[in-house]
Amino acid sequence: MIVKQVENLLAILDLFAKVRRPRTLSQISEALGLPKSSTFNLLETLESQGYIHEMRAWGGYYPTRRLLALAQEIARNDPFVDRLRPVLEWLQEQTGETVLLAHQVDGEIVYLEVIECQHAVRYFAQAGDRRPVQVTSAGKAILSCYSAQERAQFFSKLSFEKYRDATLPNAAAVEADIRASTARGWFENLSEFTPDVLGVGMPLVLDGERLAVSVAGPNFRLLNKRAELATQVGEAVRRIKGLFEGKAPDGSTPAPKSSTDRMEPK
């Protein structure tokens, strides 16, 4: 169930991120299609908590750095992603492309972490971004962790919107792709959602949680490297599983950590 007031509050923050300049009460109200009274109450709440301030000389409201500080503090102390990040960074160095860690929520994948590459032409995404599950390599990898019956139930709730010419049109096509990819050992998205972008992904199951690791980049760089990328993604998955099994990347068992720095997987 969506809480409308929370959704509206987040929409205000998203608006500031998009326009990147102060906005007046009227401008915010008009942009979001909200009554001025409701918009004013939301802005007053954010201002009272120190998340925005009114810049009278500039004619509008703008977020303070408190939100940034809060987000950075949360990100710095995410025990799950922190534990995986070194392997994801290793994978980015090996492939030279953007690396993504994803899980599935309500018919979409959500990126838990994104390690961007430095190429001028690259696949761009941010942690927290969502994509339709059936059109991404990570989403297909996650779906492969379900039984065919579970996937059929899952597909019955999807709209199968046609995003690009390459978008698979229906449940039967996605199911066939997942079965073929499972036999091959890796999953791909060839411009099914984002134009001229290719993704290669593999499933990652940790303590019953279905996740996926993927690499994405422009077709012209990746099209002839898919098998190589799959090998590298597979090695990253193996290394991550080793972390949760208490093994070093080479498969050996490291000395146990002290009780002060041991972190149990969630």
137, 99 contact by CB (below 8 A):
no
Beta strands in 1-80 (DSSP E): 52-55, 60-63
CB atoms within 10 A of CB 17: 9
DSSP 33-88: T--HHHHHHHHHHHHHTTSEEEEGGGTEEEE-THHHHHHHHHHHT-HHHHHHHHHH
Per-residue pLDDT of the chain (266 residues; tens, 9 = 90+): 667 888 888 898 888 888 888 888 999 999 989 899 988 998 988 888 888 888 765 678 888 888 877 777 776 666 778 889 999 999 999 999 999 999 998 889 999 899 999 899 999 998 888 999 999 999 999 999 999 999 999 999 999 999 999 999 999 999 999 999 999 999 999 999 999 999 999 999 998 889 999 999 999 999 999 999 999 999 999 999 998 887 555 545 444 443 333 333 33
Determine the Cα–Cα distance for residues 50 and 130; give it in Å rounded to an integer: 28
DSSP 214: E
What is the pTM assigned to this prediction?
A: 0.70
Residue type, 265: P
